[in-house]
């Protein structure tokens, strides 16, 4: 059966306004399959959508022809196909483009370097950077990876995950990069609870001697988790912490259309501390 014949058959059996009805019913089928990695049977789809099994059969056949659905088992289960995934990816804006205006405003306001780091496959990678205007400034390399446990970017990202998720991402041993690096997991989890409370993460010469940083987390509608950070030479950082935090909080409002992370912290994750913990 050709694609045109399939669509004609479905439309013909759904009445004069079949095209509109078919779109709604097809969307209902796709919604029912969202998140179902093992797929669903036609009977399960009929039950979840409230549509007759015969209608489900015709819709699934048409969607399979287009590659939007594919077989998930030899017993007739179907799941979301690669064609739909490609369409979604094609319309997905990069988080870099979403956050670039906020980065530029931060750089102009603070005259310091501003970085964007994105969590990808368990690694934090710098995807964009605007260098500061001072002769003495922090310089970040786009494309480089950052440790999660001792950078402001990393701690901002980790704070948006549960303690269990944090444990899965962290290495078995937390490397000491400077004398100020936190290497005890319990101490790091305590600090992450403070970051969850305030929304701001600090790096007080914990990853690089002579460089401090402040960061906030952000996430786009597709679940990409990232952090905006302002690294500053330590000689110019102390005494400016509140100005940097205020500017980052203003940036948070600027990107407030970027939805927050759905993952909730573990119980007790909102315990308060009076000041940003030093390592």
Instruction: State the average pLDDT for the chain.
Output: 83
Query: Which pLDDT score is estimated for 160?
Result: 94
Q: What are phi and psi of 150, to 5 degrees?
A: -130, 10
Using an 8 Å Cβ cutoff, are 144 and 138 in contact? Answer: no
How does pLDDT run across 90-106, given as a tens digit for each residue? 555 678 888 999 999 99
Within 13 Å and on the Cβ side, how many CA atoms surround 110?
Answer: 36
In this prediction, residues 116-135 reach a mean pLDDT of 91
CATH of domain 3-90: 1.10.10.10
Query: Which pLDDT score is estimated for 261?
Result: 36
Q: Domains of the chain: which residue ranges?
A: 3-90, 95-254
In this prediction, residues 15-41 reach a mean pLDDT of 81
How does pLDDT run across 178-205, given as a tens digit for each residue? 999 999 999 999 999 999 999 999 999 9
Task: Enter the pTM of the model.
Answer: 0.63
CATH of domain 95-254: 3.30.450.40
Most confident of 83-87, 97-101, 210-214, 251-255: 210-214
How far apart are the C-alpha atoms of 117 and 93, rounded to whole Å? 16
| Interior angle at CA 202, CA 198 and CA 203, nearest 5 | 165
Say what the alpha-carbon torsion angle 157, 161, 163, 168 is, to the nearest 10 degrees. -80
Query: Which pLDDT score is estimated for 175?
Result: 94
């Amino acid at each position: 059966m050709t694609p045109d014949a399939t669509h004609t058959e479905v439309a013909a059996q759904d009445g004069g306004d079949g095209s509109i009805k078919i779109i709604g019913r097809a969307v209902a089928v796709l919604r029912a399959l969202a998140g179902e990695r093992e797929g669903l049977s036609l009977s399960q789809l009929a039950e979840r959508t409230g549509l007759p099994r015969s209608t489900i059969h015709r819709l699934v056949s048409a969607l399979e022809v287009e590659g939007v659905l594919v077989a998930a088992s030899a017993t007739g289960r179907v799941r979301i196909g690669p064609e739909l995934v490609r369409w979604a990816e094609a319309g997905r804006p990069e988080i870099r483009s979403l956050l670039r205006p906020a980065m530029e405003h931060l750089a102009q306001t603070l005259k310091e370097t501003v970085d964007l780091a994105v969590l990808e496959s368990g690694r934090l990678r710098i995807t964009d950077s605007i260098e500061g205007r001072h002769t003495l400034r922090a310089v970040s390399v786009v494309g480089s990876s950052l440790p999660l446990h001792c950078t402001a970017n990393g701690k901002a990202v980790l704070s948006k995950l549960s303690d269990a998720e944090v444990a899965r991402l962290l290495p078995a041993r937390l490397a000491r990069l400077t004398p100020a690096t936190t290497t005890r997991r319990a101490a790091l989890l305590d600090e992450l609870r403070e970051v969850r409370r305030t929304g701001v993460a600090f790096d007080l010469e914990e990853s690089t001697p002579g460089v401090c940083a402040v960061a906030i987390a952000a996430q786009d509608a597709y679940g990409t988790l990232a952090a905006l950070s302002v690294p500053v030479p330590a000689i110019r950082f102390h005494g400016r912490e509140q100005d940097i935090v205020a500017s980052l909080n203003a940036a948070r409002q600027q990107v407030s259309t970027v939805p927050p992370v759905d993952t909730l912290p573990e119980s007790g994750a909102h315990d308060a501390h009076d000041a940003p913990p030093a390592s």
